[in-house]
Amino acid sequence: MALLTLSSPHTHGSNRTSRIMLTVALATLPGLFALSWFFGYGTLINVILAIATALASEALVLKARKYPVSFFLKDNTALVTGLLLGLALPPLAPWWITVLATSFAVVFAKQLYGGMGNNPFNPAMVGYALVLISFPVQMTTNWAMSFQVSGTELISITDTLKVIFTGAKELTDAYTGATPLDEYKHLISKETSDQLLQRDTFSGWLNGGWEWVNLAFLAGGLFLMIKRIITWHIPVSMLLALALCSLVFGWDEDLYTPLSLHLLSGATMLGAFFIATDPVSASTTPRGKLIYGAGIGIFLYIIRTWGAYPDAIAFAVLLMNFAAPFIDAYTQPRTYGHDKPRRGLKPGDKS
């Protein structure tokens, strides 16, 4: 009688990487819906384009590396990378920006480092940073205006396609504008806060639809927490750090962007719950995660306030990616039966 001899344990829970990634993708749906609702079909088209690019480039690289393509595509990590990029890019960004960012993210930031699990930097944010640095104009001006801002109909699906794929100038100008964060930052030196908030960009409840988008991502993030796919550490510490910075340095609304805008505008919630929590490139120890999240929050505030770019999730996350291994080395938990946790990695240091 032939018997199987395998190493223990002989049983396995129901967690699967591919399922986790799919759950993450599902959790972005409220945010995607809100973006489409307020800003038109641009994001939807971006997302589809980005996912297609991500899967195609992943398949190509896997093929070139002689890996089983379908087995690795099924892990859904490329899907999530594409999805997050599609959500983060300006809704009316030209198609080639999306394609460039996504393929760079998958090929260079992920596969060239050895594929899933081996990338030190968040691939989506590497792609995003690349296009943000290379094409700052398109990346800061091609944000669609919400119907609340424009006060008119949303851009139609044909017009959206035209803007994205042909870059039709007159249409682009008609439907795009700066984001609230951008506008506040640049105009607050000229006007008072009260005057500013009278502008179209900030019409609606808070800032023309962005508040709802952020709340939708927040809801998705809470869902992930309940599903135990992410822990509270990174989002909470990041948002707390951001809020704290804003209260300490930016309490004067006539000089600095107010807290409400920081928290509920731009990519704050998307970043806090979906991007900063990317496990591969983040810190992994519980205390490390707190430091990591707080770091992102602080950098986010610094760059948003004093940097050249209106939003800064990508840079803040990448900067902390650098620090993650170091943070991990110094925040190991105290192992059972040890008096003190270990600090750092000194060669030859044994307990």
Nearest distance, CB of residue 311 and another protein, angstroms: 26
How many of the other CB atoms lie within 10 Å of CB of 307? 16
DSSP class of 208? T
Q: Work out whether 280 is an interface residue with another protein (CB under 8 A).
A: yes
Q: What residues between 39 and 98 interact with another protein by CB under 8 A? A: 71, 75, 77
**What are the CA-CA distances from residue 162 to residues 54, 88, 92, 146 (Å)?**
23, 20, 10, 18
Q: Work out whether 231 is an interface residue with another protein (CB under 8 A).
A: yes
- Cβ–Cβ under 8 Å, residues 123 and 105: yes
Nearest distance, CB of residue 117 and another protein, angstroms: 3
**β-strand partners of 143:** 177
Whichever of 203 and 332 has its CB closer to another protein, that residue is 332
- Cβ–Cβ under 8 Å, residues 104 and 300: no
Q: Work out whether 189 is an interface residue with another protein (CB under 8 A).
A: no
Q: What residues between 309 and 328 interact with another protein by CB under 8 A? A: 328
Whichever of 16 and 65 has its CB closer to another protein, that residue is 16
Whichever of 3 and 248 has its CB closer to another protein, that residue is 3
Nearest distance, CB of residue 133 and another protein, angstroms: 27
Q: How many residues bind another protein (CB under 8 A)?
A: 50
Q: Which of 285, 290, 298, 321 binds another protein (CB under 8 A)?
A: 285
User: What angle (nearest 5°) sits at the alpha carbon of residue 111, between those of residues 60 and 59?
Assistant: 20
Whichever of 167 and 279 has its CB closer to another protein, that residue is 279
CA distance linking residue 235 with residue 297, whole number of Å: 9
**β-strand partners of 144:** 176
CA distance linking residue 211 with residue 209, whole number of Å: 5
Helical (H) or strand (E) element with 45: helix 42-64
Site pattern 255..274 for another protein (x: CB under 8 A): --------------------
CA distance linking residue 31 with residue 39, whole number of Å: 12
Instruction: Choose one: 7-15, 153-161, 173-181, 216-224; the region binding another protein (CB under 8 A).
Output: 7-15
Whichever of 22 and 244 has its CB closer to another protein, that residue is 22
Q: Which of 26, 118, 158, 192 binds another protein (CB under 8 A)?
A: 118
Query: How much is the CA Rg of the chain, to the nearest whole Å?
Result: 22
| Residues at the interface with another protein (CB under 8 A) | 1-13, 15-17, 19-20, 71, 75, 77, 115-118, 228-229, 231, 279-280, 282, 284-286, 328, 332-338, 342, 345-351
